[in-house]
Amino acid sequence: MGPQASKSYPGRRLVKPAGPKAERATQEIDDGRRDVAGSVFGAFRPATGDAFTAPYKGRTTANWVDFLCQGEGWVDPAATRVYAVVDNLNTLSALDVLLFSLAHPRWEFVFQPTYAAYLNLIEPWWKVLRSLALKGRRFNAWAEIEKAVARATEYCNAHKHPFIWGRRRRHRTPRRLESPPSQMSP
């Protein structure tokens, strides 16, 4: 899901006036960022709708390999091929990741083209997860984000369904193959 940061509401404290001539107090400048941030890695099975997420304090190669090892346990052992579609971040193709792929020959890493996130089926799922876990909420600590993502993932897995790529077509009348009868007047 990429880097996430805990944020607070801006302007909770008033700044003391600069001098005796100041008539009104001003708010402290606050961009909402805090010192605590992290990343959420995720895996998704579009055919069943199963999802797996794991939060980490940083987006490092060691964290990525740890996530892959957890993903190895999450994937069905009967699966002969595992396709991991990843973006072109350099930590995702480091030496440790190559060693992981040698130790686990059923894994195949597919790198999506630059500027083509729409080809990756997990991107629409990230949108759903963000709306369930993060949208409209403020977090003061990374632990709160971890709990929110875990609850949203549990909810998605409890209400899972096969994920269909593309937008949903609701209330669409079916097309008729035959032409309508001609109206003839007497």
Q: Which of 7-11, 47-51, 146-150 has the highest mean pLDDT?
A: 146-150
Residue 102: which CATH number? Answer: 3.30.420.10
CB-based contact 51:156 (threshold 8 Å): yes
- 101 in a structural domain: yes
Mean pLDDT of the 160-180 span: 68
- 11 in a structural domain: no
Q: Which of 29-38, 84-93, 113-122, 129-138 has the highest mean pLDDT?
A: 129-138
In degrees rounded to 5, what are phi and psi of residue 181? Answer: -65, 145
Q: CA–CA separation, 129 vs 120, rounded Å?
A: 15
- 27 in a structural domain: no
Rounded to the nearest angstrom, the gap between the alpha carbon of residue 107 and the centroid of all alpha carbons in its chain is 21
Return all residues near 51 (Cβ < 8 A) that are at least 6 apart.
Answer: 42, 43, 44, 45, 125, 129, 153, 156, 157, 160
- 185 in a structural domain: no
Domain assignment of residue 115, given as a range: 33-158
Quote the tokens at residue 85: 């579609």
Tell me how many domains the chain contains: 1
- 46 in a structural domain: yes
For 18-31, how does the pLDDT look when each residue is reduced to its tens digit (9 = 90+)? 666 655 555 555 55
Q: Are strands 26-27 and 50-56 parallel, antiparallel or unpaired?
A: unpaired
Q: What is the residue type of 145?
A: I
Other Cβ atoms less than 10 A from the Cβ of 53: the count is 22
CB-based contact 10:34 (threshold 8 Å): no
CB-based contact 42:122 (threshold 8 Å): yes
- 135 in a structural domain: yes
Return all residues near 161 (Cβ < 8 A) that are at least 6 apart.
Answer: 49
- 182 in a structural domain: no
- 172 in a structural domain: no
